[in-house]
Structure formats: C-alpha cells, structure tokens
C-alpha cells in the first residue's frame, strides 16, 4: 500500500468514527489532526475503536496486523499523536510484514 | 427403598398421563409396567448392585423407567443424551462405566465394557449402599467436570408433595435441570411433555397439543422463541409459568417476554450441577431480583460472590479436586448484588471483562445490544488489547443486509447513552449461526 492509500484508509476510518459522534465532537479529517494525547480528539476508548476500525478495513484487503502492539505503546514518540504519525506507523508495520 | 415413594404415587395415579413424547402418551400404570419389565431384565442380564451403567438415550418412557429400575438396583447411573454425543467416549472413560445401554428405535443394546472402576468416591457410595448419578458440566469454562451425586439424596427432597403440573421436559436427564424436572414431575403425578425437537416451533406445538403449564428454559431460548414468531402460530394459553436459569437473563429479554405473555408468571431458577436446584422466588415477573434457598440449602455472600451449602450436594468430582470449603460451602463463581434477602445475579466472575480497571459483565452489554432491531443474537467476550488491557468484543447474528461498517455505526449510536464508553463493544464480528449450545445456553468465545 502506498502512503496515500494508507492515509485514505485512515480518513475513511475517521469518517466512520464521526458518524457515531455528536456534531460538536467531530474529528477533523486532515493529516495534522491531533488524535491521542495533548489536544487529541480521542480518549483511550475512542482510540481503541479507531484502531480496530482500521484493522477491520485492512482485513478486508487481507492484511492482518495489530496496530497496538507493545512497540506502539513504548515508542518514545507516540504513533497515535496525530493522523500523520499514525499513517507512518501503519506504513512501517506493513513494510515490516 | 429409595424409589418406593415414586412407585406408590405411580400406582395410585395409574390412569394419569405420565410422559408424552410426540403424540405418544404413556400413563403412570404403563410406566410402572415398563419399570417392572426392566427390573426383570436387569436380573436376567445380571447387572449387580453398585455397578456403573451408562444410558445413551433421550427422554422416553423406556429411558425413564430404566432410570428408575437402575436406581432401585442401586447402580451408579451415567445418563448420556444426544446433547453430548460428541463427548460420549470421553465421558464413559471418566465415569468408567461397566455397562453401556443404548436405547433407540430398535431393540435395546447392552454392551459390557472391561472397565474396573475403583474411584474413591464410588467406594464412599458403596458403603452407603445407595444409587449414584454422574452428570457432566457443559465445559463452557474449560473441560467438562464429572459431577458425582448420591442419587438417594437428590430424591429425598422430592418426598415433600408439591403442585401437580404438566411440564415441558426441556433439558435432558444428563443435566441437573432435566433431572429436577423429571423427578419433580414423577413425584407429584404431573406429566412430562417431551417436544419432538428443541426448536421454538416444536416446543410451541408440544405446549399447544399437551396443554403444558410450565416451560422451564433458558434466556437464550426465550429470545429465540420471541424472534421466531412461533408463539403466534400456536395456542399457548395453557402456559402458567415460564422458568429460566442456567445463565444471566438480559433485562431486554425479560421485558420482551413479560410483554408478550402478560398472563404468564416468570420465575428465575438457580441451581448448579454440584448442589442441585434451589427453591427460588422472583420479586415479580418483571424483576431480576430473586430469593434463593429452601430447607436443605444455606447461602453466604463473600466479596460479592455467592456460596452455597446443600444437603443434596454432590459427593465430589470424579476428575477434579473437591471444590468445597471446610464448612461445606461451594463457591458458585457467580457475582451477585444484594438487597436484604434478595439477590441479583450479575454474571460469572470468570467472564468479567476488565477494561482499563473497569468491570464489564457480558450480560449487561448483550442486553442493550439485543434491544436493537435486526439483532437476532449477541455474545460478548473479551480480547486482550495493548491500550486498555482488555476490550469488549461481540459476535452478532443479524437478520439485515447491513455491512459491518454500517452496523458498527448503528451499534455505537444505540449504545451511547445506554452504556458507559468502556462497556461499548469495540471489536464487532458478524456471524451466521446462533451462539448457543445444544442446551440453549449462550456460548461466549474465550480469548
């Protein structure tokens, strides 16, 4: 998958998340949107949900990976900080497959 | 003589209907005749007192009368219904049966095995000179345990006369609930109605045909009964009481069944294969608060968990250490909420999902999800997750054409406001089959 394809997939997952969020809690669909942590739009449960949605979408393309493995949690710079770090994280995982 | 009180009752009510299987109805007089035929047969085949005998059969006039005859002969009985067909060999191996009796449409088949049972607990029973009963747990929490009862103690509690009822035999005689239904019915001159199949349609037909008054069943079956619409095509006005047990009742299912059958009383039962079925009383038909006990039972609650002591408790497991504490209490593993003498069963300790330190009971989540239109079945389980330790996962059977993504949105919208965020299922899997086992108990996946 190319970087752009991964980003589209993350955007699609965010749109899915937004469908069940209140109007005033919408997550902006953009590469610099903060996700988790400082100024993040998601709490831990929201993040868990988003990651599983992305995993489900990858599964549809027959790609079976876990986005929240131990490495992800101990990374000095959290891969869940914003959309672009998350895209880079998925990219790394896919290349390492 | 342990079964004498049953025989006396049968002789007294010889024209009364005892067992109805399909359109075939057997009276107590006929059952008694069959019982004496079996006694002769046992003598001919030289089955000795104390020997271990398995009966492979579902409920029928033959299997019931054979069960009574073997009880009289003080055998250790291992009833094996077709519910557990896949495990017959394992179960026989654990119980060390010396005889295998197979009842079907044809003539009876008797097989002598080479087993020489020498279990310590069998010796205890031999010294008491009493009949025994081996039941197997469903194995929903690991491997099946062989539960060994002194059958005379199980029978004792039925010597107190109670109401004569026409009862649907929902569970087979290899389940404590099925044994309870059978013995209650025989002891009080009632009629045991065996449905041709355990489907909602077949059960409704049996209730209609034989004017059944009591339906002992599980919340999962009640859910299916409501979904199937089978109750709309049959006359169920004879039904006075529906009892439910074996698993936690979802609020949504209880609300739906009381609305559908406003004239029928709902009663929660509570029992374990290890201690038997307790007498119980629901606060009212719409309530999940229940009082459990009875003359031979003592209960205590420690750290929210229910412990039970019973005079008719099993002697022990054949294949596991004794689970009783020094005072003879058994940890049921069920977490309960308490309000004076009333308790509410929340779920099994072993099934609690710990999401970031918060406790989630599968039944509560299932109850909310089952309220959604299009959801036929739902079973919650836990998945390990790096972020919150565990997450709530759910398997769903839908009768809509929604995609997973579409359904996810609808589920989250439905659950928001009804459940705290940590209880809302994060991993959702759509499945094609119902989640229950042969006894209509919801089987949750284990991660």
Domain residue spans of chain A: 3-95
> In this predicted structure, what is the pLDDT of residue B11?
95
Is residue B2's pLDDT more than 90? no
Q: From CA B199, how far away is CA A53, in angstroms rounded?
A: 36
Q: From CA B4, how far away is CA B165, in angstroms rounded?
A: 21
Nearest to B386 among A46, A49, A72 (CB): A72
Q: From CA B49, how far away is CA B61, in angstroms rounded?
A: 23
> In this predicted structure, what is the pLDDT of residue B71?
97
Between chains, do A47 and B387 touch, taking CB under 8 Å as contact? yes
Between chains, do B387 and A69 touch, taking CB under 8 Å as contact? no
Please tell me which of A74-83, B14-23, B70-79, B222-231 the model is most confident about, judged by mean pLDDT.
B70-79
C-alpha distances (whole Å) from B31 to each of B15, B61, B172, B186, B207 are 10, 6, 18, 10, 22
Average pLDDT, chain A: 89
> In this predicted structure, what is the pLDDT of residue B98?
98
Is residue B148's pLDDT more than 90? yes
Q: What is the pLDDT of residues B92-143, one digit of tens each?
A: 999 999 999 999 888 999 999 999 999 999 999 999 999 999 999 876 556 8
Partners of B391 on chain A (C-beta within 8 Å) are 48, 52
Closest chain B CA to residue A69: B386
Q: Binning pLDDT at 50, 70 and 90, where does residue B227 land?
A: confident
Both tokens of residue B388?
A: 């919150």
> In this predicted structure, what is the pLDDT of residue B22?
81
- pLDDT above 90 as % of chain B: 76
- Do β-strands B191-194 and B166-168 pair in parallel, antiparallel, or remain unpaired? parallel
Between chains, do A48 and B426 touch, taking CB under 8 Å as contact? yes
> In this predicted structure, what is the pLDDT of residue B412?
94
Angstroms from A32 CA to nearest CA on chain B: 22
Between chains, do B387 and A73 touch, taking CB under 8 Å as contact? yes
Is the Cα dihedral B420, B391, B400, B397 positive or negative? negative
Tell whether domain A3-95 is in CATH 1.10.3470. no
Average pLDDT, chain B: 92
Closest chain B CA to residue A51: B426
Q: From CA B192, how far away is CA B182, in angstroms rounded?
A: 7
CB burial of residue B76 (10 Å; 0-12, 13-18, 19+)? buried
Look at B259 and B229; give whichever has higher pLDDT: B259
3-state secondary structure of B152: helix
Nearest to B387 among A16, A20, A68 (CB): A68
Q: Are B203 and B168 in contact (CB under 8 A)?
A: yes
> Which of A62-66, B33-37, B190-194, B425-429 is the least confident region?
A62-66
> In this predicted structure, what is the pLDDT of residue A72?
64
Angstroms from A68 CA to nearest CA on chain B: 6
Nearest to A44 among B387, B408, B412 (CB): B387
Per-residue pLDDT of chain A (97 residues; tens, 9 = 90+): 899 999 999 999 999 999 988 888 899 999 999 998 778 899 888 999 999 999 999 999 999 998 986 666 666 678 898 999 999 999 999 988 6
> In this predicted structure, what is the pLDDT of residue B447?
61
Q: What is the pLDDT of residues B341-368, one digit of tens each?
A: 899 999 888 889 999 888 899 999 999 9
Instruction: Centre a 10 Å sphere on the Cβ of residue B163 and count the other Cβ atoms it contains.
Output: 11
Burial B202-241 (b: 16+ CB within 10 A, else e): ebbbbbbbbebbbbbbbbbbbbbbbbbebbeebebeebeb
Between chains, do B421 and A69 touch, taking CB under 8 Å as contact? no
> In this predicted structure, what is the pLDDT of residue B397?
95
Q: What is the pLDDT of residues B377-423, one digit of tens each?
A: 999 999 998 888 899 999 999 999 999 999 999 999 999 989 999 99
Domains of chain B: 4-156 (3.40.50.980), 352-431 (3.30.300.30)
Q: From CA A42, how far away is CA B390, in angstroms rounded?
A: 18
Angstroms from B426 CA to nearest CA on chain A: 5
Between chains, do B386 and A53 touch, taking CB under 8 Å as contact? no
CA angle B77, B243, B345 (to 5 degrees): 95
Is residue B163's pLDDT more than 80? yes
Closest chain B CA to residue A52: B427
Both tokens of residue A29?
A: 């669909």
B178-201 average pLDDT score: 93
- pLDDT above 70 as % of chain B: 99
Q: Which helix (H) or strand (E) holds B381?
A: strand B375-385
Both tokens of residue B342?
A: 């009333």
Longest dimension (CA), chain B: 69
Instruction: Measure CA B107 to chain center.
Output: 29
Angstroms from A11 CA to nearest CA on chain B: 14
Q: What is the pLDDT of residues B234-247, one digit of tens each?
A: 999 999 999 998 78
Between chains, do B409 and A68 touch, taking CB under 8 Å as contact? no
Angstroms from A16 CA to nearest CA on chain B: 7
Nearest to A45 among B409, B413, B421 (CB): B421
Between chains, do B408 and A16 touch, taking CB under 8 Å as contact? yes
């Amino acid at each position: 998958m190319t970087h752009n394809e991964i980003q589209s997939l993350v955007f699609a997952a965010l749109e899915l998340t937004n469908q069940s969020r209140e109007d005033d809690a919408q997550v902006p669909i953009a590469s610099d949107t903060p996700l988790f942590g400082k100024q993040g739009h998601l709490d831990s449960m929201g993040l868990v949900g988003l990651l599983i949605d992305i995993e489900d979408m990858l599964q549809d393309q027959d790609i079976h990976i876990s986005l929240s493995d131990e490495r992800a949690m101990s990374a000095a710079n959290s891969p869940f900080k914003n959309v672009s770090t998350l895209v880079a994280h998925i990219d790394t995982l896919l290349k390492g497959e | 003589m342990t079964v004498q009180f049953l025989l006396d009752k049968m002789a007294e009510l010889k024209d009364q209907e005892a067992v109805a299987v399909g359109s075939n109805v057997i009276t107590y007089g006929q059952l008694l005749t069959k019982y004496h035929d079996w006694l002769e047969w046992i003598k001919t085949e030289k089955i000795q007192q104390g020997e271990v005998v398995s009966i492979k059969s579902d409920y029928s006039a033959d299997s019931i009368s054979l069960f009574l005859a073997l009880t009289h002969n003080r055998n250790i009985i291992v009833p094996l219904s077709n519910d557990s067909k896949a495990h017959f060999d394992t179960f026989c191996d654990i119980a060390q049966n010396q005889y295998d009796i197979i009842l079907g449409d044809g003539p009876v088949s008797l097989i002598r095995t080479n087993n020489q049972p020498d279990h310590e607990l069998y010796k205890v029973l031999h010294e008491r000179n009493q009949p025994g009963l081996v039941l197997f747990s469903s194995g929903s929490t690991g491997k099946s345990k062989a539960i060994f009862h002194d059958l005379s103690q199980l029978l004792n509690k039925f010597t107190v006369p109670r109401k004569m009822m026409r009862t649907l035999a929902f569970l087979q005689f290899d389940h404590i609930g099925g044994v309870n239904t059978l013995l209650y019915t025989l002891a009080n001159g009632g009629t045991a109605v065996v449905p041709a199949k355990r489907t909602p349609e077949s059960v409704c037909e049996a209730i209609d045909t034989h004017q059944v008054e009591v339906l002992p069943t599980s919340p999962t079956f009640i859910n299916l009964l409501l979904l199937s619409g089978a109750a709309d095509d049959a006359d169920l006005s004879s039904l006075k009481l529906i009892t439910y047990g074996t698993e936690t009742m979802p609020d949504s299912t209880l609300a739906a069944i009381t609305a559908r059958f406003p004239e029928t009383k709902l009663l929660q039962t509570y029992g374990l294969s290890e201690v038997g079925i307790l007498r119980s009383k629901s606060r009212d038909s719409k309530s999940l608060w229940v009082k459990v006990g009875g003359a031979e039972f003592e209960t205590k609650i420690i750290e929210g968990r229910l412990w039970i002591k019973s005079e008719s408790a099993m002697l022990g497991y054949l294949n596991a250490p004794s689970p009783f504490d020094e005072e003879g209490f058994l940890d049921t593993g069920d977490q309960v909420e308490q309000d004076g003498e009333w308790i509410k069963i929340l779920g099994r300790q072993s099934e609690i999902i710990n999401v970031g330190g918060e406790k989630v009971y599968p039944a509560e989540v299932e109850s909310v999800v089952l309220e959604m239109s299009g959801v036929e079945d739902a079973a919650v389980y836990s998945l390990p997750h790096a972020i919150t330790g565990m997450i709530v996962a759910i398997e769903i059977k839908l009768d809509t054409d929604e995609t997973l993504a579409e359904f996810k949105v609808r589920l989250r919208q439905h659950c928001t406001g009804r459940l705290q965020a940590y209880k809302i299922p994060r991993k959702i899997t759509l499945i094609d089959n119902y989640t229950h086992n042969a006894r209509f108990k919801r089987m949750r996946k284990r991660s």
